[in-house]
Each structure stands twice: as structure tokens, then as C-alpha cells.
Amino acid sequence: QKEVEQDPGPLSVPEGAIVSLNCTYSNSAFQYFMWYRQYSRKGPELLMYTYSSGNKEDGRFTAQVDKSSKYISLFIRDSQPSDSATYLCAMSSTGNQFYFGTGTSLTVIP
Amino acid sequence: GAVVSQHPSWVICKSGTSVKIECRSLDFQATTMFWYRQFPKQSLMLMATSNEGSKATYEQGVEKDKFLINHASLTLSTLTVTSAHPEDSSFYICSAIDTGRNQPQHFGDGTRLSIL
């Protein structure tokens, strides 16, 4: 079983839709959770960083962590064509070793 | 926010040459840096972890003599692809963290390496 599971998609939504991206994990020791956005031929860009459980909101983005279910989510409200990218989840228990999902490819159609 | 600069962004060279890629943390001290390789439409593949002042830790299957990593200062790590061949063509990305503050990884913009 992989440490982190993420549906690769591709996911295609109309502009303005709410997007839900998810990852599950198996290691209960994970306590740092991250979401990255990666455009083609660019490095991943940090979107959200959460410690332990709970929600975190930043503009149109909301990250949720449910440690009891070992499940994390990223919601994008009012999605825009510029949100079209690959979204990677990542997590860590110590802050020194990180485990990444395979990434979900998102396309927002104008 | 934390900025990681990677240089060059794109390099094309002949088979057999060595290529050096630099990764710099511009506004923080990076005690740990990571080097990744990414093939088209695939996820990140960790190659090695480097800690400032010590030898890099390579992932299984990554040739140490092929991919030389140096992390001589708290703001600079380099990856040298020695005697590069076409199969080494890929997208190489570095990242850095300041472990003293439990911060996430911040990535450079990647280097596209094309070996002819």
C-alpha cells in the first residue's frame, strides 16, 4: 500500500464550479499536510500548509484535514481557467521526510 | 514568502558532457534540500536528500557517481549530472526547507535538461 493515494484524474470542470481534490494516507503519524499546484514545466508552488487536523482557508482555497479518517481535501471555489494545473498533496510526520501523491490534473473550461 | 531559485531553467548539451544545476534559497537558510526528477505527466521522483555540510542521502536506484550533489552552504546546493546521456534528459527540480521552523518544502522552478 502506498503511503499516499491520490486520484490522478484528469478532472475537468466548467468555470465557476467548486472543485474538490482529495488524498488518503496510511501513516497515522503524519501531522504536516501540504497542497501544491504545478503548472506545466514549472516547479510546484505551495498553496496550503496545515498542521494537524482542521480547516484552513486562503481566498478561494480551503484545505481540510481529517486525521481520524486519514483523509485530506482541497476545495477551490469559483474555479478559474488559470486554476488549470496539476495539484499535488504532500505530507510528513517529522518535517524532514515528505510523501507526495501522484498529482491530480485539473482543467477548468471557460 | 520563501523563494527558491534554480538555474539554469533549460539546458541543451551534447552526450558525454557534465551539467551543473544550482539551487539557491534566497530569503532563508536551508538546512535540507531535496532533488527530484520528473518525467512528463508523472509525479515527482525523489533522487536525494542533502543536508548542509554532510554527504547527500540517495534514494535506491539513483547512482551517486552519476548525480553528484554538493550542499556546501545553507543557501546553495548543486546537482551535477556527469557524463550525461540522452536517457538523463528530464525535468530536475530542487526544493528546500528550513527545518528549524517546521516549514514545508519550497520548490525551485525546475531545470529542463535535454541531452542530444
> For residue A96, what pLDDT is reported?
78
Residue B98 is predicted with a pLDDT of: 81
**Mean pLDDT of all residues in B74-88:** 95
Work out the mean pLDDT of chain B and round it to a whole number: 92
Instruction: Give, for all 110 residues of chain A, the pLDDT tens digit.
Output: 678 999 888 999 999 999 999 999 999 999 999 999 999 989 999 999 998 888 999 999 999 999 999 999 999 999 999 999 999 999 999 877 899 999 999 999 99
User: What is the rounded average pLDDT of the residues B4-22?
Assistant: 96
Q: pLDDT: is B57 or B2 the higher one?
A: B57
Contact B97 A95 (CB under 8 A): yes
Q: Do B95 and A90 touch (CB under 8 A)?
A: no
**How much is the pLDDT for B101?**
65
What is the distance in angstroms between the Cα of A63 and the nearest Cα belonging to chain B?
Answer: 15
Instruction: Please answer yes or no on whether B105 and A34 come within 8 Å at the CB atom.
Output: yes
Q: Which residue has the higher pLDDT, B11 or A52?
A: B11
- Nearest by CB to A43, from B41, B49, B109: name it: B109
- By Cβ distance, the residue of B95, B99, B112 closest to A96 is B99
**B34 neighbors A44 (Cβ within 8 angstroms):** no
Which of chain B's residues have a Cβ under 8 Å away from the Cβ of A51? 102
Residue B43: predicted pLDDT = 87
pLDDT at B99: 66
User: B34 CB contacts (<8 Å, ≥6 apart)?
Assistant: A98, B46, B48, B49, B50, B94, B95, B96, B97, B105
- What average pLDDT does this structure show over B7-29? 95
Q: Output the pLDDT for position B48.
A: 96
Separation of alpha carbons B85 and B82, rounded Å: 9
Nearest CA in chain A to B112: A41
- Most B CBs within 10 A among A23, A36, A50, hence the mutation to make, goes to A36
Whether pLDDT at B63 is above 70: yes
pLDDT of B6 above 80: yes
Cβ <8 Å between B105 and A41? no
Instruction: Using the predicted structure, report yes or no on whether residue B40 has a pLDDT greater than 80.
Output: yes
Q: Could you tell me which residues come within 8 angstroms of residue A37 by beta carbon, excluding any fewer than 6 positions away?
A: A44, A45, A47, A83, A85, A86, A87, A88
Count of all residues that appear for chain A in the document? 110
